[in-house]
């Protein structure tokens, strides 16, 4: 059952203390209520990031019901699978959302000329920085909050994630409404609402990113082992660790809070 709550709706300041308080208030609240609060609190300067992964589809479905005009964006590295682009088109039609395509400053061919061919095979961190992290940072300028599909159980780097946190890299609020969900809850939701998913999942791809950096995973192996095989890398870099900061919204400068 939904719990009615009011959290920071009149304030423009965020501190470590107010973030802790709002996370406490949101702890027992349904996904729909968290998203409704987020959209009411930050719209129109709020956007939803999608990777077209299972958790993203849960969020897109909810946002399509609550506020379908919300900006929903994806990072198009130009190296996604054809199946991912097909899913994008299907979701756009089925959910009535309009996706904003965010790209790097240059295409894959130009990247090859500047940095050498197949940068992903030599330095995937730099490749992700050029094709994901930097475009994201540019896109988020002017937004007050972004919604992500981060879940604590996804990777060890995400184990400490909070529902509402300050994103120090991009200087805005980051909302992770599914932070406590596990994979089973996500898939139960997708089945309950008969939502489409990437057809590659049925071919053994539990986590799907760019073509050169994604492989199928044999049953029983870590689902994330299919990403950047051969490298220690488990994250593309857009979800860094969260640290408390004092945020002042409304066009005034942002400050950092010690500690
Ligand atoms: Fe490049 Fe691979 Fe990162 Fe995609 S996932 S941006 S191909 S390194």
Cα–Cα distance for residue pair 70/81, rounded to 1 Å: 25
Say whether pLDDT at 201 is over 90: yes
Instruction: Yes or no: say if 179 and 161 are a contact pair by the CB < 8 Å rule.
Output: yes
Determine whether 236 is an active site residue.
yes
Domain-embedded: residue 245: yes
Domain membership of residue 147 as a residue range: 13-256
Number of domains making up the chain: 1
- The residue contributing the CA closest to ligand 1 atom 4 is 210
Any ligand 1 atom below 6 A from CB of 237: no
Distance (Å) of CA 73 to CA 34, 64, 234, 252: 20, 13, 22, 26
Domain-embedded: residue 110: yes
Supply the pLDDT for residue 12. Answer: 55
Cis bond upstream, residue 43 (ω within 30): no
- Percentage of the chain with pLDDT > 70? 86
Domain-embedded: residue 3: no
Best of 212, 215, 239 to mutate for ligand 1, by most ligand atoms within 8 A of CB? 212
Domain-embedded: residue 218: yes
Indicate which CATH number applies to the domain containing 24. Answer: 3.40.50.620
Say whether pLDDT at 182 is over 70: yes
Could you report the per-residue pLDDT of 21-45, keeping only the tens digit for each? 999 999 889 999 999 999 999 999 9
Cα–Cα distance for residue pair 167/43, rounded to 1 Å: 18
Domain-embedded: residue 5: no
What's the chain's average pLDDT? 86
Domain-embedded: residue 89: yes
Could you report the per-residue pLDDT of 64-80, keeping only the tens digit for each? 999 999 999 999 999 99
**24: three-class secondary structure by DSSP:** helix
Supply the pLDDT for residue 228. Answer: 85
Cα–Cα distance for residue pair 84/90, rounded to 1 Å: 10
Domain-embedded: residue 4: no
Cα–Cα distance for residue pair 162/144, rounded to 1 Å: 17
Domain-embedded: residue 6: no
- Whether pTM > 0.85 for this model: the answer is yes
Any ligand 1 atom below 6 A from CB of 176: no
Any ligand 1 atom below 6 A from CB of 120: yes
Cα–Cα distance for residue pair 170/86, rounded to 1 Å: 30
Best of 103, 116, 124 to mutate for ligand 1, by most ligand atoms within 8 A of CB? 124
Beta strands in the chain, from DSSP E residues, in sequence order: 13-14, 46-49, 71-75, 99-102, 145-147, 164-167, 172-175, 247-248
């Amino acid at each position: 059952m939904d719990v009615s709550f009011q959290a920071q709706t009149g304030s423009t300041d965020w501190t470590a203390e107010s973030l802790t308080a709002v996370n406490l208030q949101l702890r027992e609240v349904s996904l729909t209520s968290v998203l409704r609060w987020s959209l009411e609190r930050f719209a129109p300067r709020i956007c939803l990031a999608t990777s077209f992964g299972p958790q993203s589809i849960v969020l897109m479905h909810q946002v399509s019901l609550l506020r379908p005009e919300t900006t929903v964006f994806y990072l198009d590295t130009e190296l996604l699978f054809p199946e991912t682009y097909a899913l994008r088109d299907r979701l756009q039609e089925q959910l009535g959302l309009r996706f904003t395509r965010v790209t790097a400053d240059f295409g894959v061919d130009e990247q090859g000329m500047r940095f050498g061919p197949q940068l992903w095979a030599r330095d995937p961190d730099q490749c992700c920085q050029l094709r994901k992290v930097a475009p994201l940072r540019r896109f988020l300028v002017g937004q007050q909050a972004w919604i992500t599909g981060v879940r604590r159980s996804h990777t060890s780097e995400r184990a400490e994630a909070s529902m509402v946190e300050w994103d120090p890299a991009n200087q805005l609020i980051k909302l992770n409404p599914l932070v406590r969900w596990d994979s089973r809850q996500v898939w139960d939701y997708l089945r309950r609402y008969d939502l489409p998913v990437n057809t590659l999942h049925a071919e053994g791809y539990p986590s799907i990113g760019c073509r050169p950096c994604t492989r199928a995973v044999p049953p029983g192996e870590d689902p994330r082992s299919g990403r950047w095989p051969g490298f220690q890398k488990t994250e593309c870099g857009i979800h860094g660790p969260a640290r408390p900061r004092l945020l002042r919204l409304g066009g005034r400068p942002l400050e950092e809070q010690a500690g």
